[in-house]
């Protein structure tokens, strides 16, 4: 197993575009009008379109798979709490940070969260992953 230490962290940043939202809707079939229809979204509590929350969650997945722990990482679990909306044009940074490393198995628990360009935490949770040997 890759040597991991409590406190190790990695981040990944992405700007959420209209195309990102539309492609995600097509890939998943989630065509909720709050994501796709400006007129509909204007009448919601958000006042405008919002991105699918799972787009930010996907950025966490990308950080785990590519950065920390890295290639070969397999999800065992993930909790998510959506704290604030993500709007088209927002730049989201996902951060993963090692909380615990099991001594007996290649299993790691990481704190996970996403912030927007203003530093507002839009999502937080915890991931448990199996680390490739």
Q: What is the pLDDT along the chain (133 residues), one digit of tens a residue?
A: 458 999 999 999 999 999 999 999 999 999 999 999 999 999 999 999 999 999 999 999 999 999 999 999 999 999 999 999 999 999 999 999 999 999 999 999 999 999 999 999 999 999 999 998 6
Query: For 9-16+52-130, CATH number?
Result: 3.10.129.10
pLDDT of residue 1: 47
pLDDT of residue 133: 64
Question: Quick one: three-class SS letters along 89-109?
Answer: CCEEEEEEEEEEECCCCCEEE
Tokens of 24: 């995600």
Q: What does the alpha-carbon distance between residue 5 and residue 2 come to, in Å, rounded to a whole number?
A: 10
pLDDT of residue 3: 87
User: What helix, strand, coil percent values describe the chain, rounded to 5?
Assistant: 25, 35, 40
Q: pTM score > 0.85 for this model?
A: yes
| Token pair 């507002």 in the structure block, residue | 120
């Amino acid at each position: 197993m890759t040597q991991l230490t409590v406190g190790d962290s990695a981040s990944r940043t992405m700007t959420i575009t209209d195309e990102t939202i539309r492609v995600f809707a097509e890939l998943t079939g989630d065509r909720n009008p709050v994501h796709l229809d400006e007129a509909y979204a204007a009448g919601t509590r958000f006042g405008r379109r919002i991105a699918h929350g799972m787009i930010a969650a996907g950025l966490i997945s990308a950080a785990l798979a590519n950065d920390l722990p890295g290639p070969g990482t397999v999800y065992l679990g993930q909790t998510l709490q959506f704290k604030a909306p993500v709007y088209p044009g927002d730049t989201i940074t996902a951060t993963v940070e090692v909380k615990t490393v099991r001594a007996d198995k290649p299993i790691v628990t990481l704190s996970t969260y996403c912030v927007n360009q203003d530093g507002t935490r839009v999502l937080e949770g915890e991931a448990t992953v199996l680390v490739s040997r």
